[in-house]
C-alpha cells in the first residue's frame, strides 16, 4: 500500500505539474524537500541524544519498568504480545504522555526509543509486530489536550474566542484514537496481514 501511495503522489505530482505548467515549481519542491528531510533528521540529533541518555538512566534505575507496571491493566490489553514490564512499554507511555501534553520535541525521541525496544522482541525484523502497529495507530491518531499552535493561529487571525476549539478537538481526537485501536485489533486478525513465521523456522 505504501509503495502505491508513494508512487502515486510522485507521478501524479509531476504529471499534473507538467499539465498545469507548474513543472519548474514541482521540480524545485522535490529538491527543497529532500534538503528539508535531511535537516529535520540532523536537527533531531541533539534532542535524540539527550532523551536516549536520560531514558537509559531511567531504565538502569528501574523507573521505566515501574512506570510500565503502573498501567499494566491497559497495556496488557493493548499490547498483549509485549511483557508488561518490558522497557518498550515505559517508552511507549512516555511518548504518548509527551504527545498529550504537546511536547513535540520530546515525543519523537521517546517514540523512536519505543520502536527500538519493540524491535528487540520482534521475531521477524523486517515486519511490523501487532504491538508496533497498535503503538503507531494510537500515536498517529494523536490525543492532544491543548492544540496550542492552532489556537495561536486563530488568535492571530483575530478570532473572538480561539480556545473554544479545545472541547471539539478533544472529542474529535478521541474518536480517531478509538477508531485506531478498534481498527488495529480487527485488522491484525485478517489473513492478509498475518506474519509468515514459517520462513524463519526454515532458515
Partner 1 sequence: MFISIIEAISRYAIPVVFVGIVGFGLAKRVKVYESFTEGAKEGFYTAVRIIPFLVAMLVAIGVFRASGAMDLLTNALSPVTNALGIEGETLPMAFMRPLSGGGAQGVMTEIINTHGPDTLIGRTVAVMMGSTETTFYVLAVYFGSVAIKKTRHALPAGLLADLAGLLAAIYISKIFF
55 is an interface residue for partner 1 by CB under 8 A: yes
Which 8-state DSSP code applies to residue 157?
T
Cα separation, 131 vs 140, in Å, equals 14
Work out how close the CB of 139 gets to partner 1 at its nearest, in angstroms, rounded to a whole number.
6
**Site map for partner 1, 21-50, x if CB under 8 A?**
-x--xx-xxx-xxx-xxx-xxx-xxx-xxx
**Site map for partner 1, 181-200, x if CB under 8 A?**
--xx--xx-x--x-x-----
By CB under 8 A, which span of 73-81, 82-90, 148-156 interacts with partner 1?
Answer: 148-156
Cα separation, 120 vs 65, in Å, equals 16
Cell numbers for 175: 474518536
> Total residues at the site for partner 1 (CB under 8 A)?
110
Cα separation, 122 vs 167, in Å, equals 39
Phi and psi based region of residue 6 (left: phi greater than 0; alpha: psi -120 to 50; beta: remaining): alpha
Whether 124 and 197 have beta carbons less than 8 Å apart is answered as yes
Cell numbers for 146: 491543548
In the region spanning residues 63 to 92, those forming contacts with partner 1, defined by CB under 8 A, are 63
62 is an interface residue for partner 1 by CB under 8 A: yes
**Site map for partner 1, 97-136, x if CB under 8 A?**
xx--xxx--x-xx-xx--xx-xx-----xxxx---xx--x
Work out how close the CB of 198 gets to partner 1 at its nearest, in angstroms, rounded to a whole number.
15
Work out how close the CB of 175 gets to partner 1 at its nearest, in angstroms, rounded to a whole number.
4
Amino acid at each position: 500500500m505504501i509503495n502505491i501511495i508513494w508512487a502515486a503522489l510522485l507521478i501524479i505530482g509531476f504529471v499534473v505539474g507538467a499539465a498545469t505548467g507548474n513543472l519548474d515549481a514541482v521540480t524545485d519542491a522535490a529538491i527543497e524537500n529532500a534538503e528539508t528531510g535531511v535537516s529535520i533528521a540532523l536537527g533531531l540529533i541533539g534532542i535524540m541524544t539527550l532523551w536516549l541518555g536520560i531514558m537509559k538512566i531511567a531504565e538502569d534505575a528501574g523507573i521505566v519498568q515501574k512506570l510500565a507496571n503502573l498501567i499494566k491493566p491497559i497495556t496488557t490489553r493493548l499490547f498483549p504480545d509485549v511483557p508488561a514490564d518490558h522497557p518498550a512499554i515505559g517508552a511507549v507511555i512516555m511518548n504518548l504522555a509527551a504527545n498529550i501534553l504537546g511536547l513535540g520535541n520530546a515525543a519523537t525521541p521517546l517514540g523512536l526509543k519505543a520502536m527500538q525496544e519493540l524491535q528487540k522482541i520482534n521475531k521477524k525484523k523486517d515486519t511490523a509486530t501487532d504491538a508496533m502497529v497498535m503503538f503507531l495507530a494510537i500515536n498517529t491518531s494523536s490525543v492532544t489536550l491543548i492544540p496550542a499552535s492552532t489556537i495561536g493561529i486563530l488568535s492571530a487571525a483575530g478570532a473572538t474566542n480561539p480556545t473554544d476549539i479545545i472541547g471539539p478537538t478533544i472529542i474529535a481526537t478521541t474518536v480517531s484514537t478509538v477508531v485506531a485501536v478498534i481498527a488495529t485489533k480487527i485488522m491484525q486478525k485478517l489473513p492478509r496481514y498475518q506474519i509468515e513465521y514459517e520462513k524463519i523456522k526454515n532458515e
